[in-house]
Amino acid sequence: MVNTLVIGAVSGHIRTTKTWILGRLLRDGDDLVDKEMDDREEAHIPPSATPSSIASSQDQLKGKAKDRPWEALRVSVFEVIPGAPHGVPTRDWVWWSGYVIIIVQLAISIIPWIKSQEWGTFMIAGVGNFLALLEGSLPQWRREKWACPKTGGATVTITQGNGSRHAMVILQSRGKGLDIEILAQGTRTKKASTFTRISTAVLALLWIALLGTVSGLKIDTWCKSTFPSPISLTILTYTVDLLGIGLLGSIQNVVAAGAPRSPSAMGFHIRLVETITGSSVARVLRETESKYQFVGTSLVQVFFPGSLRVKEEDIDFWREAQDQRLRPNKWGARIDNLPEKEKVDGYEDLSEIQPGNGVWKRGMKFETQEVRDSYL
């Protein structure tokens, strides 16, 4: 799983996710962007580049179509699709390929039964696939994979962090969608139920029984060739039925693990709203902040761990953005930005304030409501 960070836009909290499905979502999103930009970008010319290095970069890209400017960072903004079954994946070709391979495996295994009445191969393939489907269908796995509330969550950004060229922003979705901040932390994983414990124990025994059955079967080969053996002077035979069946299953597993899949195929029913790109990370973050409040400022500490330096024409924008982030909201004031203790209408010591003078400071404590009202 790729290194995946989940950043809350409003809170600014950065979580290193423990959930592989979020890593898969980001990996496939990054791969899609890389595929789109492959061999189509202009050469990247860093600020410290010399004329010789610039010429070298241009020579390397000579003859290639370059219809896209260099992208330092791409921010893909998504919104949650209302009414969709969040946490329930849609069936794509990868999902259906599993059943296609099972049918092919059974078709191969039935040939020796038809040809030479050897039913053992078909029994092994059928029972093995049935046990695999049964174990993969336990409801426990769905609860663990999408272990979070499905009533929506705050705006979050998913990215690999500093050095990455892509970030996925999923906008706030109160009342709908997955709470990705909770999903990222992996703290809501359901404890295995009694049904799951019993089922896994029974399935383990059935797998052991199948293994013992396979080792005890004496199956003739239905596809064999004879060669004189120089070692034992016996007939050397080889089978391709069981090996072929197992090889097909292994290939399908490799393809399913590496194939790019849409977000909805992984239970994230989201749609693309817009993409924000630019040749400067700072400019991309500024545009993102201007369109989606708090998103750009939450990413500054991710992409600029040593702080971001801006030019004079951008100072007012970033000052206002930072002031907005540091202001008290409905949850209160930030303890790292509390107002300094100051005089109250000329009084150095709050104990000097006497009842009836109309002076009151937020945070003062009173023994009774009557005493409080006397200060107001």
Q: Which residue, among 37, 31, 20, 34, has the nearest Cα to 260 in the 3D structure?
A: 31
DSSP 77-141: EEEEPTTS-TT-----HHHHHHHHHHHHHHHHHHHHHHHH---HHHHHHHHHHHHHHHHHT-HHH
Q: Which two tokens stand for residue 353?
A: 């304030």
Overall size of the chain counted in residues: 376
Residue at token pair 């796995």: 141
pLDDT score, position 169: 97
Full pLDDT tens readout for the chain, 376 residues: 678 999 999 999 999 987 889 999 999 999 988 888 776 666 666 665 555 555 555 555 555 556 677 888 999 999 999 888 998 999 999 999 999 999 999 998 888 888 878 888 888 899 999 999 999 999 988 888 888 888 888 999 999 999 899 999 999 887 888 999 999 887 777 788 899 999 999 999 999 999 888 777 665 544 444 444 443 333 333 355 677 888 899 999 999 999 999 999 999 999 999 999 998 999 999 999 999 999 999 999 999 998 899 999 999 999 999 988 988 888 888 887 777 665 444 544 445 444 444 444 445 555 555 655 554 5
CA 85 to mean position of chain CA atoms: 18
CA 203 to mean position of chain CA atoms: 31
The CA-based angle 125-129-130, given to 5 degrees, is 115
The CA-based angle 261-154-186, given to 5 degrees, is 65
Q: How far is CA 111 from CA 100, 127, 202, 279, in A?
A: 17, 17, 31, 60
**Within 13 A of 103's CA, how many CA atoms are on the CB side?**
5
Q: Which residue, among 230, 223, 231, 24, has the nearest Cα to 112 in the 3D structure?
A: 223
Q: Which residue, among 3, 19, 27, 34, has the nearest Cα to 263 in the 3D structure?
A: 27
